[in-house]
A and B are shown apart, each in its own frame.
Chain A
Amino acid sequence: MTETEKDFDVQGFARDINELLVLSTLRTDAKHGYQIALDVETESNGLFRFKHGTLYPILHRLEEEGLLRGSWSKESGRRRKVYALTGSGRRHLSGETSRVEEIVSRLMQVLQRPGEAPA
């Protein structure tokens, strides 16, 4: 049994995708929460959108797990939070991207089985 098979959980997969989307937008530089939400939407051509604040539990969980580093800065007398990818976040992103690729490839194998395509 491969790692992918051992860990695969359909419900958790959606959550993992959201986490990966957040991590991937931070690959190049640190960003504020709203920029992350906007970039995920823009880069996926509107396919993935955060709604009703679902972004925050993801950001805070990733920060707690040490995959993101949140830091506060003070500009114009007000405090604002910026998120950056950590070293372990970068490694996690790379490993999880391969896992998602494998899952999607296996899904496509099933969906594209010759002679059994839906009418």
Chain B
Amino acid sequence: MTASGARLFLPTLRAVEQDLPVPLGERTRILRELEFDLEGLQSQLMDEGLPAAAARERAMEVLVPGPVVLRELGRLHASPYRRATRHLNDDRLRLMERSVLALATASVLGVQTLALLSAGLLHDSSPFLWPVLGLGALLFAMMLARTFEQCVERDHRRPARSLSGLLGLSGVIVAAASGGVILDLYRVAGVLERAPERASTLMVQWVIRDCALLSVALLLALAGVLTWLVLTQWRALVADAHEAVLGLDRHN
């Protein structure tokens, strides 16, 4: 920062930021380094007798990256995943990523079903368990996709609201399970009206069945909410540091 505290190179940093194709954390570090160097070089040139405006121009000429350098920085600072898949064209890469995502989702759905089967929870289960499991698989796919974007691709450009989908779907799962529990209760109540002598058996069955439904739904929702929390906090940390460098501190 200059002696007056003004950040004279902010417009330059913002312009560079627009064309710097690197993950957000790296971009912040590059811009931070660039700003300090620009200020340092300008100040040194002024100490050597150059007028402030000329020193500023010269510092920018030496240090502000041109298009070729920005591309080179993009190559150097690409995420390891981007580097490893550089030889693949975009369409092919997207297809591969979606196939892996679908496969992982199907595997989780399979493992989930097997775990429930071995725990005996699918035998005489609530009819609402299957939609909840389906939504759970969708939630898992979404968790995987958002974690992949943020941690592997390190792409923070996607709007923050894309993470809210995790929270929304977790809520839908709990709501679907709760609705299922209530409808199951109505169903049991209907049977009880016709055969009150089966009350104790039917009530025990209802409790077991719907506790299993609610437990599965709450576990899935918990996973979704935790993933949302971790990704949101991480994203906020990275974004805050970046915005502070660009003088866009949204907390001020």
Instruction: Mark B residues whose CB is within 8 Å of A.
Output: 1, 29-30, 32-34, 36-38, 40-41, 44, 59, 61-66, 68-70, 72-73, 76-77
Contacts and interface: CB of A to CB of B under 8 A. Distances in A.
A52 B66 contact: yes
A57 B62 CA distance: 13
Given A78-B1, A79-B32, A81-B36, A57 B63 contact: no
B65 A64 contact: no
A34 interface: yes
Contacts of A32: 36-37, 40
A92 interface: no
A30 interface: no
A38 B179 CA distance: 70
A50 B40 contact: no
Nearest to A83: B33
B38 A34 contact: yes
Contacts of B1: 76, 78
Given A51-B61, A57-B72, A35 B33 contact: no
A33 B63 CA distance: 9
B61 A37 contact: no
B38 A60 contact: no
Interface residues of A, number: 23
B135 to A, nearest CB: 44
Contacts of B63: 33-34, 37, 50, 53, 55-56
A52 B40 contact: no
Contact of A81 (B33, B66, B72): B33
Interface of A: 32-35, 37-38, 49-57, 60-61, 64, 76, 78-81
**Which 9 residue pairs of A and B lie closest in terms of their CB atoms, listed nearest first?**
A53-B65, A52-B66, A34-B41, A34-B37, A57-B72, A34-B40, A33-B37, A53-B69, A80-B36
Contacts of B66: 52-53
Given A52-B61, A52-B69, A64 B76 contact: yes
Contacts of A54: 69
21 contacts: A34-B37, A34-B40, A34-B63, A37-B41, A37-B63, A50-B62, A51-B62, A52-B64, A53-B64, A53-B70, A55-B63, A56-B30, A56-B33, A56-B65, A57-B72, A60-B73, A60-B77, A61-B76, A76-B1, A78-B1, A79-B36
A34 B69 contact: no
B33 A33 contact: yes
Contacts of A34: 36-38, 40-41, 44, 59, 62-63
Contacts of B41: 34, 37-38
Contacts of B70: 53
Nearest to A49: B62
B215 to A, nearest CB: 47
